[in-house]
C-alpha cells in the first residue's frame, strides 16, 4: 500500500494503548480454527484484563486465538474511545457500554474506507480522480468524526455504495497497463477456495472479494492486482510478488502464509509466523 500522508498514518493504525479493548468486548467470537471459545458481542473476552490489555497477547496463536492476530480496527478503537466518547470507558456505565459497542463497528468501516481512499489518492494513474477522491475522503472523515447519535443513525452501506464506484475507477486506471495471462474467467468475487494458482500471472487482475482461502499462490505474480476484500486466509504466498498490489491490507497479509521470498509492498510488515 503506498505510504499515507503523515497525518493519516497514526489515525488509521490501531493504537491499542489508547483504546478500551473494544475489539475484545464489542465483537462476538465463534469457537473455530480462529478462536478457542464462543463469546457473545458485548461480553469481555476472558483474556482481557481490567486495564484493557490482553493477557495472552504474545501467545495468541499458541492459545488458539489466531483470529485476534489478523484483526485490525484501522484506528477506530482509539477514535471511539478517546474522541467519540471523550475518554469515558465502557466500564463506567452500562449505557455508555451499549452505545460504544454499537458505534465501534460503524467507525471501523469508515476508517477502512479511509485507508482505501487514501491509497487511491496516491496512485499516479488515478491522478485525474484526485479531486473526487479527496472530496470522498473528506466526507468520510466528517462522518467518522460525528457524535454517537449520528454514527448510530448512519447508513454505512449507503455511504460505501457511493465510495465504491470511485475506488473501482481508480483501480481500473491503475491496472490498465498491467494485464497478465490470467485464467480465462471472471475473478472478482470468484470462489477460488484451495485453487491451484501456483506461478500464475495475475498482474493487474481484479480479485476484489475473491475467496482465496488456502489457495496455492506460490510464486504467483500479483503486481498491481486489486485485492480489496479478498479472503487470503491460509493462502500460500511463498515466493509470490505482491509489489504494488492494490488495496492490500495488513490483516490480509497476516492471515496468509508466506516466506522470506514473498515480496510485499513497503508499507506492510512481514508476519512473524511466516517462514524464513
Residue reference for cell 448510530: 152
Cell of 206: 481484479
* Sequence-distant (≥ 6) Cβ neighbours of residue 172 within 8 angstroms: none
As a whole number, mean pLDDT of residues 57-63 equals 92
* Range in 83-87, 88-92, 143-147, 209-213 the model is least confident about: 88-92
152 touches 102 (CB < 8 A): yes
Q: How far is CA 73 from CA 62, 109, 114, 169, in A?
A: 22, 8, 12, 26
CA 274 to chain CA centroid, Å, is: 19
Q: How far is CA 260 from CA 5, 199, 201, in A?
A: 28, 17, 20
pLDDT of 199 reads 96
Residue reference for cell 475489539: 23
pLDDT of 178 reads 79
Residue reference for cell 499458541: 62
Q: How far is CA 92 from CA 88, 100, 220, in A?
A: 7, 12, 51
pLDDT interval class at 10 (50, 70, 90): low
pLDDT of 11 reads 83
Q: Looking at the predicted structure, is the pLDDT value of residue 208 above 50?
A: yes
pLDDT of 93 reads 86
Handedness of CA 228, 268, 66, 116 (dihedral sign): negative
Domains for the chain: give ranges and CATH numbers: 6-174 (no CATH), 180-276 (2.160.20.80)
| Cα angle 264, 192, 162; round to 5 | 75
pLDDT of 146 reads 97
* Range in 183-192, 195-204, 257-266 the model is least confident about: 183-192
pLDDT interval class at 242 (50, 70, 90): very high
As a whole number, mean pLDDT of residues 260-266 equals 95
pLDDT digits (tens, 9 = 90+) for 101-134: 999 999 999 999 999 999 999 999 999 999 999 9
106 touches 44 (CB < 8 A): no
* Sequence-distant (≥ 6) Cβ neighbours of residue 143 within 8 angstroms: 110, 150, 151, 154, 159
As a whole number, mean pLDDT of residues 188-210 equals 95
Q: Looking at the predicted structure, is the pLDDT value of residue 1 above 50?
A: no
Average of per-residue pLDDT values in the chain: 92
Amino acid at each position: 500500500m503506498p505510504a499515507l500522508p503523515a497525518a493519516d498514518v497514526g489515525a488509521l493504525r490501531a493504537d491499542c494503548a489508547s483504546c478500551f479493548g473494544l475489539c475484545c468486548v464489542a465483537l462476538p467470537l465463534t469457537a473455530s480454527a480462529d478462536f478457542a471459545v464462543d463469546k457473545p458481542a458485548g461480553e469481555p473476552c476472558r483474556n482481557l484484563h481490567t486495564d484493557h490489555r490482553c493477557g495472552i497477547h504474545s501467545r495468541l496463536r499458541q492459545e488458539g486465538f489466531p483470529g485476534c492476530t489478523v484483526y485490525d480496527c484501522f484506528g477506530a478503537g482509539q477514535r471511539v474511545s478517546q474522541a467519540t466518547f471523550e475518554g469515558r470507558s465502557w466500564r463506567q456505565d452500562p449505557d455508555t457500554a451499549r452505545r460504544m459497542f454499537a458505534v465501534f463497528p460503524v467507525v471501523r468501516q469508515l476508517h477502512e474506507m479511509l485507508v482505501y481512499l487514501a491509497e487511491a489518492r496516491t496512485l499516479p494513474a488515478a491522478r485525474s480522480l484526485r479531486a473526487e477522491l479527496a472530496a470522498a475522503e473528506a466526507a468520510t472523515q466528517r462522518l467518522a468524526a460525528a457524535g454517537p447519535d449520528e454514527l448510530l443513525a448512519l447508513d454505512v452501506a449507503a455511504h460505501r455504495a457511493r465510495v465504491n464506484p470511485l475506488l473501482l475507477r481508480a483501480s481500473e486506471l491503475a491496472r490498465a497497463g498491467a494485464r497478465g495471462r490470467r485464467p480465462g474467467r471472471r475473478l472478482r468475487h470468484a470462489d477460488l477456495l484451495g485453487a491451484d494458482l501456483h506461478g500464475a500471472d495475475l498482474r493487474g487482475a481484479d480479485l476484489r472479494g475473491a475467496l482465496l482461502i488456502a489457495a496455492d499462490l506460490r510464486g504467483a505474480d500479483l503486481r498491481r492486482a486489486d485485492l480489496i476484500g479478498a479472503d487470503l486466509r491460509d493462502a500460500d504466498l511463498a515466493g509470490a510478488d505482491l509489489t504494488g498490489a492494490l488495496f492490500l491490507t495488513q490483516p490480509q497479509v497476516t492471515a496468509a502464509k508466506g516466506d522470506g521470498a514473498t515480496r510485499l509492498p513497503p508499507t506492510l510488515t512481514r508476519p512473524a509466523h511466516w517462514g524464513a
